[in-house]
Structure formats: C-alpha cells, structure tokens
Structure 1
Amino acid sequence: MSKVKAIMPDSLPASGAQPSNYSYGVLAGDTLHIAGMVSFASDGSIVGEGDVEAQIEQAFTNMKAVVEAAGGTMDNIVQTTTYLVHTTDAPKVSEARHRWFTGPVPPTHTVVGVAALGRPAFLVEIEATAYLG
C-alpha cells in the first residue's frame, strides 16, 4: 500500500481547512490530490471579494503552494476542475491557465457551473491532480 501524506503549506490558513476537516493536498504515492483552491490569503481573509480575476489568481497561487510543498511544480498538474458561480467567467479562467500552465503538456480541464460555493464571497474554486513520479 502506498504512503499517504497530508500537504498543508504554511502559506495557506489552517483555519480554512480545520472546520471542514480536510487537507489542502493529499500525496498518495506519486499522485497529489489538491483540494478546491479558493481565494484565501495566508491570514484567512478572502482576496478579491467581487473580483473573479483576483480570485482566480489567488486560487492558482494557492495551488502552486500546495504542489510545491509536495515537491512538484505547476508542470506536474495533470488535471483541473473549475467551479464557477458565473460560467460567463470561463474565458477569464482560460486566460489565467495560459499564464499558470506553461509546460509542454497542459492539464485537462473541466468547468462546472454552480449555484454557490462554500462561502458567499467565493466566485471560483479550482481543484487539481498532479503526478509527481
């Protein structure tokens, strides 16, 4: 059986994960499962209230922190799912993906429209899987 390890970067607020009892990332063998990243700042505040582009950037910044804490880079991301309160914001996510995923193989991507996310201020949440082998 593979070793399973929680990945909890110091740059993400423990207070964001503790109430719901989850890890920001779980490394299982060579596979890193990254929880839905939202626009939490390190102090637990929300970056970019009302500004989906700022929230997208913070979500990717947080994703990068998780993958790097596990020993990888954004080039190791192989799959993403983006949850959007307003699917009309999908092109803004695509623009950001071009900046954040610059490796030779872009990760897969699924966009899901949702009525709401975990907090009313969140407009976007992005989860991912990375292969670190």
Structure 2
Amino acid sequence: MKKHLYLFLLFISSAGFAQTSDIAFINPSSVSTPKGYSQAVTIDLGKSTMLILSGQVALDKDGQLVGKDDITAQIQQVFTNIKNIVEAAGGSMKDVVKLNYYMTDVSQVQVLRNIRDKFVNTNHPPASTLVQVNKLFRDDILVEIEATAVIPKK
C-alpha cells in the first residue's frame, strides 16, 4: 500500500499540477479590499495565465455600494470592477472567457446584456451562465458576477 501511495505522490508532483509558486492571490487597489478572501487568483499555465475572479458586486474601491436600488448602476460598477482586476493582472476584457451571473431579477437580463456588450468582445462573447437567486449576501446587492480570463503571455 505504501508503494502505491508513493507512486501516486510521485505522479502528482511530476504531472504538471500547479505548485504554490505557480499561483498568486491578488487584491488590486482599484477595487475594494475584501475581508477573508482574495479578489482573484492567477494560475501560471505556461504560455498564458488563468485569472479566476471572486464574485464581483457593485462596491467601489472604498467598499461603498454604487447604485442602491439601481440595477443599471450596479451592473456598470460590477463590470468596471471586473475590468480593473483583469487589467491589474495584465489582461484586457477580450481575455475574459467565462462569466457567471447571479441576479435577483432575471427580467432585467437585457439591461445586463446591454452593459456587458460595452465591455466584452461581442463577436466572440464569453461562455456564460445566468442564475436567478432570491437574495445575495446583502439585501441591497442586486447582481453578482464571477469571471474567468485566460491572459496570453507577451
């Protein structure tokens, strides 16, 4: 049994799985400083870097809500936060490959799409998922968006 465990550990260590040095946790100053988590994680993939963002809400860099009861203002702020984090990691919005949307009212999806289209490549839009939720972590938060980007190295 010990021999099998040793071989498995040897396989994992040599199989190209991300090591700690290949992963960086980032909190750009252009977005609010989170408590208890990181805004994003970068993973070195060799010729590119994967960027996984925590769910973004309509908090400005000082942690203040933008757009109380205003879905348009909140979505605009969320995409601004996403853009700021992606750019801080050396990428651009064209590098975003996946968006996950959590909205308290999916009847507002066209508002979401109109604002999203100002930020993403509409000829090759990111993969996406939309989920309606009855509540987010605060009653005044109407939308949360997660993003994943793959940033080519220069």
1:126 Cα deviation from its structure 2 partner: 0.5
Relative to the length of structure 1, the TM-score reads 0.92
Identify which of structures 1 and 2 has the higher relative contact order when contacts are C-alpha pairs closer than 8 Å and 6+ apart: 1
Tell me, yes or no, if the aligned pair for 1:77 and 1:130 is still in contact at 8 Å: yes
Question: Which residue of structure 2 lines up, in the alignment, with residue 9 of structure 1?
Answer: 28
Cα RMSD, aligned residues only:
1.2
Structure whose alpha-carbon radius of gyration is higher:
2
- 4+ residue segments displaced more than 6 Å: none
CA distance in 1, matches of 2:58, 2:108: 15
CA distance in 2, matches of 1:88, 1:120: 18
Relative to the length of structure 2, the TM-score reads 0.80
**Structure 1 residue runs without a partner (length 5+):** none
Question: Which residue of structure 1 lines up, in the alignment, with residue 3 of structure 2?
Answer: none
Letter paired with 1:25 = A
1:71 Cα deviation from its structure 2 partner: 0.6
Question: Which residue of structure 2 lines up, in the alignment, with residue 48 of structure 1?
Answer: 67
Question: Which residue of structure 2 lines up, in the alignment, with residue 96 of structure 1?
Answer: 115
Question: Which residue of structure 2 lines up, in the alignment, with residue 28 of structure 1?
Answer: 43
The yes-or-no answer on 1:79 pairing with 2:98 is yes
Tell me, yes or no, if the aligned pair for 1:8 and 1:69 is still in contact at 8 Å: no
**Among the aligned pairs, what percent are the same residue?**
36
| Residues 46-98 of structure 1 deviation map (CA, whole Å, 9 limit, x = unaligned) | 00000000000000000011101111000000000110001111111111121
CA distance in 2, matches of 1:103, 1:86: 23
Give the aligned length.
129
**Structure 2 residue runs without a partner (length 5+):** 1-16
CA distance in 1, matches of 2:115, 2:32: 23
